[in-house]
Amino acid sequence: MKKFILMVLILSANVMADSNIETAQSVSIMNLTEASVDIWINGVRNKIERSSAILTPCLPNEHVEIQANENIENISCGKILEINK
């Protein structure tokens, strides 16, 4: 029985290693100003405190819509957006 369980674990690890599962990444939004900033990420309001950052999970090749002030930007997953104003 122990050999069977060990064999199943090894085979399942090999199957998972060969699969093309997309791993989650993130978009980083950095607030480089001296004041807190209200932003909208995919339509959801967030607040970033001064000199800090927020990470938003996403999948590879996905775009994240970010609105800071009047600017709306579509950022590719894995990229960094810096807010300077």
Q: What is the DSSP string of 19-67?
A: S-PPPPEEEEEEE-SSS-EEEEETTEEEEE-TT-EEEEEE-TT-EEEEE
Q: Domain map of the chain by residue range? A: 21-83
pLDDT tens series, the chain, 85 aa: 666 665 656 666 555 555 566 676 999 999 999 999 999 999 999 999 999 999 999 998 899 999 988 889 999 999 999 998 7
pTM above threshold 0.85: no
Between CA 25 and CA 2 the distance in angstroms is 37
User: 71-80: per-residue pLDDT in tens?
Assistant: 899 999 999 9
**β-pairing, 80-83 with 25-31?**
parallel
